[in-house]
Amino acid sequence: MKIVYAPRALRDIDEILAYIRKRSPRGAHNVSLAIEHTINMCALNPRGSPETDESNVHRCPLGKYRYTVFYRTLADEVGIEVARVIHSARVKDLSKVPEKD
């Protein structure tokens, strides 16, 4: 399985963890593990999450935490490209990948 991160997704993750770390280093660690686990599960089953209105773009909520991972399946379907990781409250329409903030 292959996982590629868009530059915006890496910034999203850094910003999320920095924000949480200020309040709770342990909380940031737990959210980091949840993000990693969710992304790995998406890579194992790229078509297992609902599609958005955009072709070949899927979304997967973290479950316990209110974040959503938006990703694309790679052309060879052996993995994914993570497009965004964003707090669900900041997403007005889960059927579309949020634009840059």
> Would 98 be classed as within a structural domain?
no
Domain range enclosing 35: 2-90
pLDDT, tens digit, 9 for 90 and up, residues 8-35: 999 999 999 999 999 999 999 999 999 9
The alpha carbon of 47 is separated from its chain's Cα centroid by a whole number of angstroms, namely 14
> Would 49 be classed as within a structural domain?
yes
Please tell me the distance from the alpha carbon of residue 74 to that of residue 60, in angstroms, as a whole number: 16
What is the pTM (predicted TM-score) of this model? 0.88
User: What is the pLDDT at residue 88?
Assistant: 81
> Would 75 be classed as within a structural domain?
yes
β-bridge mates for residue 68, sequence order: 61, 86
> Would 97 be classed as within a structural domain?
no
CATH number at residue 46: 3.30.2310.20
pLDDT, tens digit, 9 for 90 and up, residues 31-83: 999 999 999 999 998 888 988 888 889 999 998 899 999 999 988 768 899 99
What is the tally of structural domains in the chain? Answer: 1
